[in-house]
Amino acid sequence: MGMSIIFLTIIVVTLCWTKRAHAETDPYLWLEEIDSEKALDWARSHNKTTLDVLQKQADFQAIYDKNLEIYNSDQRIPAPSIRGDYIYNFWKDEKNERGLWRRTPLEEYRKSDPTWETLLSIDELSEVESVKWVYKGVSHFYPDFKRCMVSLSRGGGDAVEIREFDLATKQFVKDGFFVPHAKGSVSWKDINTLHVSTDFGAGTTTQSGYPRLTKVWKRGTPLREAETLFEGEEDDVSVWSDVTYTPERQYTLIRRSITFYKGHYHVIENDTQIKLDIPEDAQLNGFFKNQMLIRLRSDWSVANKPYLQGSLIGIDYDRFLNGDRAFDVIVVPDERSSISSVASTKNLLLVNMLTNVRSRLDQYRFEENTWHKEKVNAPDLGTISIGSTDEFSDRYFFYFSNFLVPSTLYLASEEGPIEKLKSLPEFFDSSKFEVQQFEATSKDGTQIPYFLVSNTNLEHTGKNPTLLSGYGGFEISRQPDYASTVGHAWLERGGVYALANIRGGGEFGPQWHQAALQKNRQRAYDDFIAVAEDLIDRNITSPQHLGIQGGSNGGLLVGAVFTQRPDLLNAVVCSVPLLDMQRYHKLLAGASWMGEYGNPDKPEDWAFIQKYSPYHNLHAGQNYPKVFFTTSTRDDRVHPAHARKMVAKMEANGHECYYYENIEGGHAGSTTNQQTAFRDALIYAYLLQQLR
């Protein structure tokens, strides 16, 4: 008994000392209090200092005016969403800063200037309710689409208020379904039943702030009386449920995310929950012709047959439930390709592939128990993205673009050949520029591809202002895309733009991502540094004229790189970043990313995290570039304290930097076209000031 008391005393004293020591070594914890007057006054003061400089730059006003013209242009493509007989769209412009949710029939949408039926004005709603609402999407009731649940965010964060909306009356349903503001979602079971994942009260969310419970809610009953369908653990990432409709049948799914990449799927059949016997890191890609589709993040051997990492495999759902494990192999990417996305129509399975970071779209038919592949007649040498699909026909939309070709919308259907429907205008003169793809050799010898966009007559003088961007995380691929702001604000002003496809991303499948996970995170930073050095070695630019840019995980990327290799750079745009990697898992949704970075509370994990954590690798006496940090007060995914604390610590160490915190915006950093235009103008005014 005595030894136990002594042991417990040691633990308590150690924990108290650790907490006190951290408080003593981090004098900026008060900046984690998002809405405290002291913290907000600090942010406003820094905003003023930054704006007083950057708004006076010669290029700022011209860039801002052009940005706003582009973002408000009525020549933009109204992104279509097929629901029954209508094409739905959400639209923001000069007159509708917060946006209109609207619809029109397909034949009307084909016109160059279609007539739209307005369903909901977010500006009017915000004015009536005196709340700065941000539209976050809808969940339609299938199959007649007469009702939907509209998600609205206060200020642009991930947390939403969800209200039932009647599409016939164009009004919110009086005494209809209503889910209070929280991080959550709903899915229709039938017209009188919802599956709800949300914050149901104390103890019903995970450490990451996402739902731990999912429930079945009947119309006319209080939400608190909804029946619990599934309950996860507090240290899970989240629990969600979804009712999926196909022409063949309805499927009820439950997803328990244990980590960001591992979890369990359950289905409900005859009121019985059945856990699907598939790998924890596999991704269920839905159902097509009653085929259960699975994408593999690792090799899997089952029923004496191997299935390779990155593959898309399928099996009849009923046969699987009855114990059959003989899967069909639909797609097996090679080492330089990956599956970008999967979608379906009534009779077509669409697979968007990346090969050496260039898109190809294939469609598959499942006939007589055999998969038949056909390449879609889409443009080459760019990025294809699947738009909306129709479950009740073979109509679907897809987009194509690259760095110099404006985004173009195509419509495919069973009625005839693929139709080029709408295209963005050219917002800058792309004829003066060219795109090249190079490779840099990383520290461990791995070849890292990157794109370079420059003037066709680029002189290799080492003096070209060059902006290098990247991401390198969460299996997210960075692909060529038409960026009108980059074009007019950077390229036309003499800049060169580079995009690095570093490890940690998904450009070459799960193995490319997993190569930079957790203890191997430094590889992503080594890759990015290698591309920067390659740009300098080719005499395209030099440290005086090289800048880097990244947001979110990309903000962590550029934060790690400028603290490790400040000698390579003269500008850094670090947006909505993670920077304090000792406390990231304690701030907002941070705990959900421990599958990506590791757990800093574990000594063996902190041993490698602390080596790159930007906040912990700032040193007095070091020469850093004058960094520009941007964030949002209302970002409820990545805490604004990451940027706040980094700036405070840099200034205390005598390092000058810029800081801009938008009071609205969520993780996107802005909510209106005007806010986006303003922030981007600040960024490019800063880059031109630093790198010319």
Helix pair 553-564, 641-652: axis angle to 10 deg: 20
Q: Sign of dihedral through CA atoms 581, 261, 257, 349?
A: positive
If you count them, how many residues does the chain have?
692
* pLDDT for 1 beyond 60: no
Catalytic residue, candidates 151, 208, 552, 632: 552
* For the chain, percent of residues with pLDDT exceeding 90: 94
Query: Do 633 and 640 form a contact (C-beta atoms < 8 A)?
Result: yes
Residue 10 confidence (pLDDT) = 35
Q: Which of 489, 487, 493, 496 is nearest to 463 (CA)?
A: 496
* pLDDT for 4 beyond 50: no
- Give the mean model confidence (pLDDT) for residues 407-416: 94
- Give the mean model confidence (pLDDT) for residues 231-252: 96
Q: Lowest-confidence range among 45-54, 455-464, 659-668?
A: 659-668
* Local structure of 124: helix, strand or coil: helix
pLDDT single digits (tens) 592-640 = 999 999 999 999 999 999 999 999 999 999 999 999 999 999 999 999 9
The C-alpha atoms of residue 56 and residue 180 are separated, in whole angstroms, by 43
- Give the mean model confidence (pLDDT) for residues 283-292: 97
pLDDT single digits (tens) 520-547 = 999 999 999 999 999 999 999 999 999 9
Residue 336 binned pLDDT confidence (cut-offs 50, 70, 90): very high
The C-alpha atoms of residue 118 and residue 101 are separated, in whole angstroms, by 6
* pLDDT for 679 beyond 60: yes
**Paired tokens of 681:** 């103008």
Residue 493 confidence (pLDDT) = 98
Residue 416 confidence (pLDDT) = 86
- The CA radius of gyration of the chain, in Å to the nearest whole number, is 26
**Paired tokens of 124:** 């009017």
Query: Do 548 and 572 form a contact (C-beta atoms < 8 A)?
Result: yes
Residue 569 confidence (pLDDT) = 97
Residue 306 binned pLDDT confidence (cut-offs 50, 70, 90): very high
- Give the mean model confidence (pLDDT) for residues 242-247: 94
Residue 18 confidence (pLDDT) = 39
Residue 437 binned pLDDT confidence (cut-offs 50, 70, 90): very high
* pLDDT for 7 beyond 60: no
* For the chain, percent of residues with pLDDT exceeding 70: 97
* pLDDT for 159 beyond 60: yes
Residue 684 confidence (pLDDT) = 98
Catalytic residue, candidates 139, 632, 667, 670: 667
Q: 144: Cβ–Cβ under 8 A, 6 or more apart, which residues?
A: 84
- The DSSP letter of residue 226 is P
* pLDDT for 23 beyond 80: no
Query: Which architecture characterizes domain 432-691 according to CATH?
Result: 3-Layer(aba) Sandwich (3.40)
Residue 671 binned pLDDT confidence (cut-offs 50, 70, 90): confident
Instruction: Return mean pLDDT, the chain.
Output: 95
The C-alpha atoms of residue 37 and residue 40 are separated, in whole angstroms, by 5
Amino acid (1-letter code) at residue 357: V
Question: 81 an active-site residue?
Answer: no
- Give the mean model confidence (pLDDT) for residues 291-307: 97
The C-alpha atoms of residue 201 and residue 468 are separated, in whole angstroms, by 45
Query: Do 253 and 284 form a contact (C-beta atoms < 8 A)?
Result: yes
Q: Phi, psi at residue 526, to the nearest 5°?
A: -60, -40
pLDDT single digits (tens) 93-120 = 999 999 999 999 999 999 999 999 999 9
Residue 664 confidence (pLDDT) = 76
The C-alpha atoms of residue 639 and residue 671 are separated, in whole angstroms, by 17
Question: 372 an active-site residue?
Answer: no
- Give the mean model confidence (pLDDT) for residues 677-689: 98
Q: 337: Cβ–Cβ under 8 A, 6 or more apart, which residues?
A: 353, 354, 355, 356, 508, 509
Residue 601 confidence (pLDDT) = 98
Q: Lowest-confidence range among 2-6, 406-410, 647-651?
A: 2-6
pLDDT single digits (tens) 511-521 = 999 999 999 99
Q: What is the pTM of this model?
A: 0.93
* Local structure of 605: helix, strand or coil: helix
- Give the mean model confidence (pLDDT) for residues 299-308: 97
The C-alpha atoms of residue 33 and residue 263 are separated, in whole angstroms, by 32
Query: Do 586 and 644 form a contact (C-beta atoms < 8 A)?
Result: no
pLDDT single digits (tens) 481-499 = 998 999 999 999 999 999 9
Query: What are the residue ranges spanned by the domains of the chain?
Result: 432-691
Q: How do 496-500 and 466-469 pair as beta strands?
A: parallel
Residue 253 confidence (pLDDT) = 98
Please give the full DSSP string across 464-491, using - where no structure is assigned: --EEEE----TTPPP-----HHHHHHTG
* pLDDT for 504 beyond 70: yes
Residue 665 confidence (pLDDT) = 72
Question: Which tops the pLDDT comparison, 504 or 7?
Answer: 504
Buried b / exposed e over 248-284, threshold 16 CB at 10 Å, is eeebbbbbbbbbbbebbbbbbeeeeeeebebeebbbb
The residue assigned the tokens 């990309």 is: 554
The CA–CA distances, whole Å, from 29 to 267, 383, 586, 628, 642 equal: 44, 43, 12, 21, 10
